[in-house]
Structure 1
Amino acid sequence: MNYIIGMDIGTTSTKAVLYGEDGQVYTHANEGYPLYRDATGMAEEDQEEILTAVTKALKQVISYLDLKRDNLRGVSFSSANQSLIVLDKNHRPLTRVQTWGDTRSAKYAAQIKNSARGQSIYEKTGTPIHPMSLLCKILWLKNERPDIYKKAAYYCGIKEYIFYRLFGVWQMDISVASCTGLFNIFQQKWEQEALKVAGVSEEQLPPVVDAYHQFSGLKDEFVKKTGCPANTTFIQGAFDGALSNLGVGAIDAGVVAVTIGTSGAVRVVTDHPVTDPKGRIFCYAVDKGHYVVGGPVNNGGVVFRWARDNLFDAEKSTAALLHKNTYDLLTEIAAQVPAGSDGLLFHPFLSGERAPIWEANARGSFFGLTQMHTRAHMVRAVLEGIVYNLYTVLLALEEVVGQPKEILATGGFARSQLWRQMLADVFETPVTIPQDFESSCLGAAVIGMKSLGIVDDLSVVKQFIGETSTYDPNPKNFAVYRELVPIYIRLTRQLRPEYENIARFQIEHSHSQNED
């Protein structure tokens, strides 16, 4: 048998899936690690913990193989984007990993966004001006951590650091580079205007390679830790969002992928770079001939988790007695409430927000509460609010790339029939749920297969996905949502001027409590 491994270095865990050349899954592994939030706006990880997770996950899937008989053709990678590690002249870390969710550079993002250069940089890089980007993170470092900034010899993300440790190679794929806010997606090279604003040089950033770039030479230390042969071919791959689209088969024009995991995204693939005059959506490379256009949201499943932990703590024990998943119990409770939650709206901005408003200071809110509303209304409103926000991203996307032909939905939420139907009703479009298994890993594996010459075209992924199910909009429900969504959108606009004020109060109040 010939096998290929798809690996995804994600925000909360690293996953590895062993595939046959027919796309069949033979085994998989998942190794988690913590996210550190030791200060307001911080969202960091420890690169050594991630490296350990990568080696453990790789070892687990390789242990399935009989390497005397089986042929491991290659290992291909996906990773979270917009992470930052600062290195000294010997490539040793000076910081932990700042993840995409770190918002401490909000002040500097606002300065760039409000300057004459802001829109120009966005239009060249395809990356909205936001604290998630390396451009803003480095500017924060320059101003708030000058001691580290002065020592900084190199900058990279988590995948680049892992590859440097495993192989000693120093390189970044075009997909991850295109997410930094420092890379010109039209000219496919580092953008000088953005570099000047950040105060970095090309020499401090890794050389950029294509997604199909191959390398080998795993260091002896990691050969022993993983059981992976030293001569195994590794493939560079791309960032997780782009590969998630590929992994569910959303690679044709007009096919939109909606993903809700911890966070969420709405994305469509094009064959050329596209930017938005209003700056609401991103455009990142998959490889040199494919681009993914869309918008990410901070607030997906993490908001449902907040509702579970803070509004329905008692239901955890009830679910345990019933041998049910707590989330399943909560969706059953939400399903008892009619579409629209009897006029209760929820803005899910518990972690600021990216698309389409790109406001790091955004805050969540319930609107329309009356005495008739119950916790059941609140949990349904939470679920609907997440979907309303995704729908506003789709509306922005439609202005740039046109109406979708098809919507594919994936992620943890897609296991819930209520959420699937809610998505179809709010979007007023049939929603297809592919039978995906770790779509970013599958996308990475298909990139690897093309690199190795196993397949000629990325569209082969459609043969690997398996069965699908489709949910049609309920006319009664979408009529309700058609009334409520405009209220949700207008309310967002009206609240925006106050987001900065309430965020400032919360930060100052938090500081004063800490001092006490």
Structure 2
Amino acid sequence: MKYVVGIDLGTSAVKILLVNQYGEVCQEVSRSYPLIQEKSGYSEQNPEEWVEKTIDGLTELVRDFNGHPNDIEGISFSGQMHGLVLLNKEKNCLRNAILWNDTRTTKQCEYINEIVGEERLLGITKNPALEGFTLPKLLWIKEFEPEIFEQASVFLLPKDYLRYRLTGEIHTEYSDAAGTLLLNVKEKQWSEELCTKFDIPLHLCPPIVESHSCVGTVTEEVSKLTGLSREVKVFAGGADNACGAIGSGILKEGNTLCSIGTSGVVLSYEEHGDHDFKGKVHYFNHGKEDAFYSMGVTLAAGFSLSWFKDTFAEHENFEQLLESVDQVSIGSNGLLFTPYLVGERTPHADSVIRASFIGMDASHKRNDFARAVMEGITFSLNESIEIFRHNGKKIDSIISIGGGAKNPVWLQMQADIFNATIIKLSSEQGPGMGAAMLAAYGCGWFESLEACAEDFIKPITSYKPIEENVKNYEKLYLIYKQVYTKTRELNVMLSEFRK
């Protein structure tokens, strides 16, 4: 039996999957690492933590593996998007990585729009200037840490840095490059125009390859530390959302995905690079060659539920926290939650807005709050679905993965709020499975990613919308959409009091 490894470098942990030729997950290892949040709006990580924890996880995986290390033929990656890792000429990190959920760069985004113009920026990158993207981070470094910027020889995205440390080779690939705000998405090349306008040396941009490209093998040092064969092929991999799409079979027109992790996304396959959403949703290169996807983002989806658990049920697990939410009626007994804990992205590109509970009274219990958090996250994701539908996309079935696919109450809630059939897969490991599939395809096990998906991805159940629930949620959704506009100015005034 032959195997591949999918490594998913997330925001809170690295997850490593060992997958066999039938698409079965044979082993799973996870290692967590902390965020560094020195100020409100700042979010960083030490890239060495990613390397250390990944090598430790791979060592455990190989140690517990029943086969021979040579049976593991390929490794590929999925990773958190947009993060900035800067290397000097010696290829050492110059500072901590600035992550996707860091919001310090509002002024840099305004500067980008001033210099390029919003319309021209959309024409090149297919995306608006938002705090999470990589270019604003580079401009922030250039302004506030000029000595660091002067030493930089190349920037990398998080999973690309990890792959570099395992192979010694520096590359990125199109799906992650599309999230930098420096790539011409349709033309699939770094934009010399943007680099020139912002005085970003073109050599800072790493070479770009396809997601299924083999970029080398593990180094001798990594082989000795982990037990992996020196012959194991390493493939470029993809951005977490692109890999989530691959690992969920979103590989042709009409396919749509809802993924609830730290952030939440609604993602839909795009065959061409010319669908114009006018910047209302993201538009990125897919991990499948010469394909694209559109995507709406809720910044604090699963994070909202994690925050609620850590704050109000610290010593319980998620199963305990959610065990009685099915006993709470739709609308959480008149309680609404907006999941703007770290600002919002779709449809409100707003780094200042913050979360709200609306409608609290003395009768509400903890399970009312828990259900309200789940409903609020799902309402936020529905705003992206609404944009897709208004732009002519037909969405009547959605594959659900991540934390939102682990709870049957939440799956039915998605069906009712989205008014679509929700499909649950046998594996909820979307990004990690997508990385494994890129390795399997790269190793030549299959003629295409679609053929790989036929063997690897298996739906196990579905949830259909209940008409009465749909009607009730439509009423609540109209109320939910008003909360943003009615709390926006209040949050601007409160922002001066945040540390």
Shorter-chain TM-score: what band?
over 0.9
- Matched to 1:175, the amino acid is S
Deviates more, 1:54-63 or 1:233-242: 54-63
Specify the alignment match of 1:39 in structure 2. 39
Deviates more, 1:50-59 or 1:400-409: 400-409
Q: Quick one: distance in 2 between partners of 1:69 and 1:409?
A: 34
Does 288-297 or 372-381 show the bigger shift? 372-381
Q: 1:53 to 1:311 in 2, by over 3 A?
A: closer
Deviation string 1:16-36 (CA, Å, 9 cap, x unpaired) is 211111112221211221111
Instruction: Give the whole-Å Cα distance in 2 for the aligned partners of 1:197 and 1:69.
Output: 49
Residue among 418, 423, 430 paired with 2:409: 418
Distance 1:67 1:341 in 2: 51
Residue 333 (structure 1) shift = 3.5
2:431 is equivalent to residue 440 of structure 1: yes
Quickly say closer, same or farther: Cα 1:119–1:490, change in 2 above 3 A. farther
1:207-232 C-alpha deviation (Å, 9 max, x unpaired): 11111211324322211111112222
Per the normalisation by structure 2, the TM-score is 0.94
1:483 aligns with one of 457, 461, 475? 475
CA contact (8 A) 1:172 1:209 kept: yes
CA deviation string 1:14-73 (max 9, x = no partner): 122111111122212112211111222111111111111121222222334466585222
| Equivalent in the alignment of 1:134 | 134
Letter in 2 for 1:452: C
After the TM superposition, which residues 248-397 of structure 1 pair with which residues of structure 2 at under 5 Å, given as runs? 248-274=248-274, 276-286=276-286, 287-312=288-313, 316=315, 325=317, 327-397=318-388
Shift of 1:169: 1.2
Query: Is the aligned partner of 1:501 residue 2:486?
Result: no
* Separation (CA, whole Å) in 2 of partners of 1:76 and 1:156: 16
Partner amino acid for 1:400? N
Give 1:149 deviation, angstroms: 2.0
Does the 8 Å contact 2:254/2:394 carry over to 1?
yes
Q: Output aligned runs, 1:69-88, within 5 Å.
A: 71-88=71-88
Deviation at 1:277, TM superposition (A): 4.4
Q: Does 1:464 pair with 2:456?
A: yes
CA distance 1:379–1:218, shift in 2 (3 Å): closer
Residue pair 1:425, 1:478 contacting (<8 A) in 2 also: yes
* Maintained 8 Å contact 2:186/2:274: no
**Contact 1:119–1:279 at 8 Å: present in 2 too?**
no
Unaligned runs of 5+ in 2: none
**Cα pair distance change 1:68/1:445, threshold 3 Å:** closer
Alignment of 1:447-458 (within 5 A): 447-458=438-449
Task: Provide the rounded CA distance (Å) in 2 between the counterparts of 1:175 and 1:198.
Answer: 22
- What does residue range 103-114 of structure 1 map to in structure 2 within 5 Å? 103-113=103-113
Q: In 1, are the aligned partners of 2:405 and 2:428 still within 8 Å (CA)? A: no
Task: Tell me the amino acid that sits aligned with residue 31 of structure 1.
Answer: R
TM-score (norm 1): 0.91
CA deviation string 1:279-319 (max 9, x = no partner) = 12111112432212111211112111222233445xx4xx5
Change (3 A) 1:69 1:178: closer
Shift in Å, 1:89: 2.0
Equivalents in 1 of 2:395, 2:147: separation in Å? 49
- Counterpart residue type for residue 80 of structure 1: Q
Q: Is the 8 A contact 2:261 2:301 kept in 1?
A: yes
The alignment partner of 1:138 has SS state of helix
Percent identity, aligned pairs only, is 28
Comparing 302-311 and 349-358, the one that deviates more: 302-311
Q: Report whether the alignment pairs 1:171 with 2:171.
A: yes
1:107 counterpart letter in structure 2: K
Aligned residues of 1:139 and 1:199 also touching (Cα < 8 A): no
Alignment partner, residue 182 of structure 1? 182
Which one is further off, 234-243 or 147-156?
A: 147-156
**What SS class does the counterpart of residue 377 from structure 2 fall into?**
helix
Q: Return the letter of the residue paired with 2:410.
A: W
Matched-pair contact (CA < 8 Å) for 1:138–1:198: no
Q: Which region of structure 1 is more displaced relative to structure 2, 72-81 or 487-496?
A: 487-496
Distance 1:401 1:194, change over 3 A: farther
Change (3 A) 1:455 1:401: farther
Quote the residue 1:428 is aligned against: 419
Instruction: Decide whether the 8 Å contact of 2:395 with 2:420 is kept in 1.
Output: no
Contact 2:252 2:271 in 1 (8 A): no
Is the Cα contact below 8 Å between 2:115 and 2:197 reproduced in 1?
A: no
Count the aligned residue pairs.
497
Whether the 8 Å contact between 2:87 and 2:154 is mirrored in structure 1 is yes
CA distance in 2, matches of 1:304, 1:487: 21
Please list the CA deviations of residues 153-191 of structure 1 after superposition, one character each: whole Å capped at 9, or x if unmatched.
221122222233222212111111111111001111111
SS in structure 2 of the partner of residue 216 of structure 1:
strand
**C-alpha displacement of 1:236:** 0.8
Distance in 2, matches of 1:446 and 1:69, equals 19
Amino acid at match of 1:450: Y
SS in structure 2 of the partner of residue 262 of structure 1? coil
| Residue type at the aligned position of 1:42 | Y
Match of 2:51 in 1: 51
DSSP 3-state at the match of 1:488: helix
Match of 1:10 in 2: 10
